[in-house]
Structures are given as structure tokens and as C-alpha cells.
Amino acid sequence: MIGLLASAACALLLALAIVAPGDGFTARAAAPVFALWTWRRRRQAQRAAEASLVSTLETILAASRAGLVLREALTLAADRARGDLEVRLRSALANEALGVALPDALAATRPGAGAVIDTFLADLELCARARLPSDRIAAFVEDELATLRFERELASDLAARTAGQRFQVWVLAAIVPGLAVYLAAMSPTLGEELRSPLGRFVFIPGGLLFEIAGLVLSRRIVERACR
């Protein structure tokens, strides 16, 4: 979602910078795009973490079935984790090695985590505080793994069903900047109007806001239609 917004905003700003250069417009207008790009990088780390969650749980399950304690299971699982999840697991293990209790170390890594990763860390914290034996942890993780696999299969099916609609959103997102460049090239009067203060401070920012709002609403319509 954020990647779509950032891509569309970048395309629109590039087109508008061509038809309305000067007076520091590009630098001012690019600030929201950089914010979206930073948000997108964080989302990529969260998505990488969520994508590796199944393999991480499988590692914990195998280690628990082998009789390893939770700390040792997490050490092995950290090698399978990716993105934000890997960072948080290694941080918890490092704090535990420095003398912090494992439940407290896991709790300290939860702030700022996405909903899925936060739930996973909360479950690990619960297991650590309850001092569950390896067999109980294995049974608990097995149930969590079965639920997660079902949710992933359902999400994959929905993504396949909405592929056409999501492609249409991409196409519609590219129409506005393309149309702006075409009209400015065909109509010098329009290009001059966009270069004026009214164009730079009213028309162009308004177009960008409508572009982002249209993308958000389109994505929500597609998502709700498939529920």
C-alpha cells in the first residue's frame, strides 16, 4: 500500500517538476515523498519479518521437540528470522546474555513492532514468564503455526482473486501524472498557468492530494469487496 502511494507520488511530482520548475518547488514538494519512502522502508522490514515468521516458528517447534530450552530455541530461530523480527530477537538474546531476565528482554523488544510480530513476541514472553517446559512450548507453537499457515493460505487466495483490481489501481495512478505532462506539452497556456503561484501552491498540491486520496479509497474498495 505504502509502496503504491510512494510510487504514484514520485511519478506525479516528477511530472509536475517538469511542467512547473523553479522557486524551490521540487524540494518543498518532495518532502512528503521522502517521508513516504522512509515509511516504506520500515514496512519492508516488517513484511520481511512477517514473511519469515513461519520458518521461525518451525525452528522453535523443532528445537522444543528436541528438548531445548526456550533461550536456545530462540538462538536457533534468530538465524531463520529476517528483517525486523531478526533484529528484535537478537536484541532480546543480547539483553538476556547481559543478565536481563528473558521475559523482560522479550518485553523490551515489543514497542514499535507490527501487530503480527508484537503478538508473536507477546506469546514468547508469556511462555518465558510461565517457565513452560519444552513439550508445552512445542504444543503451543504447533497450534500457533497451524493458525498462521491457514491465515497465509487465505491471504494468498485473496491476493490472487484481487490481482486484476490491484493492477487497475496501478494504471489509474499513472494516468494523472501522464495526463499532466501531455496537456502541459500540448497547451503552453496550461504550462504557464501551472508555473504561476496559483498553479504551484493550489493546483499542483491539490492534484497530489486528490491522487493520494484516490489511491487510498481504491485500495479500500478492493479490499472490502473481497472480504
pLDDT digits (tens, 9 = 90+) for 120-160: 999 999 999 999 999 999 999 999 999 999 988 887 787 77
Domain end, chosen from 159, 176, 205, is at 159
Q: Are residues 56 and 122 in the same domain?
A: yes
pLDDT interval class at 19 (50, 70, 90): very low
CA distance 28 to 10: 13
User: Does residue 168 sit in helix, strand or coil?
Assistant: helix
The radius of gyration computed from the CA coordinates of the chain, to the nearest angstrom, equals 24
Q: Which domain covers residue 14, as residue numbers?
A: 2-44+162-225
Q: Which residue has the cell 521522502?
A: 34
**8 Å CB contact between 52 and 44:** no
The reply to whether 171 and 206 lie within a common domain is yes
pLDDT value of position 1: 47
Judge whether 13 and 27 are in contact, CB under 8 Å.
no
Listed residue (106, 66, 59, 105) closest to 82, CA to CA: 59
**Total structural domains in the chain?**
2
Q: Specify the 3-state DSSP secondary structure of 133.
A: coil
Same domain assignment for residues 121 and 183 = no
The reply to whether 60 and 33 lie within a common domain is no
